[in-house]
Amino acid sequence: MKKLLLIALLIVGCGVFEDEEELSFYDLYCSQGYVELWGAYYDIESTIHLQVGGESVSGLREISGIIPSHIGCLENLTWLTLSRNELTGLIPPEVGSLTNLTKLYLGDNQLTGPIPPEIGNLTNLTELTLYSNQLTGDIPQAVCGLIKSNNLDIDWILNGNNLTNTCE
């Protein structure tokens, strides 16, 4: 323990970094080669499908809390399913860095706030579900463009939310 403390003091003292703001998102969360989400570890390079939680046979929803921003480290994901849980808070804008996604399922949670415009970066999406949350505000124009260009079903976004359809 003393060795670790000494090493940490030397690193800080040598000016490698003075605070977390000097480190990039990648340095802080993605440089280890894996990311921890809801008590499980996922390899950044090899994780291409991620389905976490959802209603179990008993009818209980398995995960709760926020979607961590470091989910954006999983840059090779093609399929992300977090539907039917007790997820709360905002959809992190880092989801927009998952540009290999073809399917993004976040429906039937308790997510709040606006849809981040970064979702519009997901140009490979063929399915997007955000239904039955507590999302509010206008659908960002970047997302409207994605809905139109990828022929996404807007009802799977609007239903059960308090969103304004600005895509027409």
Question: Residue 35: which H helix or E strand, with range?
Answer: strand 34-37
Structural domain for 2, as ranges: 1-31
Q: pLDDT for 105-119, tens place per residue?
A: 999 999 999 999 999
Q: What length does the chain have?
A: 168
Distances (CA, A) of 65 to 77, 82, 88, 90, 107: 21, 12, 5, 10, 15
In a shared domain, residues 104 and 42: yes
In a shared domain, residues 10 and 37: no
In a shared domain, residues 129 and 90: yes
> How many structural domains are present in the chain?
2
In a shared domain, residues 22 and 38: no
Integer-rounded Cα radius of gyration of the chain: 18
Mean pLDDT (whole number) for 89-100: 96
In a shared domain, residues 79 and 64: yes
Please tell me whether the overall predicted TM-score, pTM, comes out greater than 0.75 for this model.
Answer: yes
In a shared domain, residues 9 and 82: no
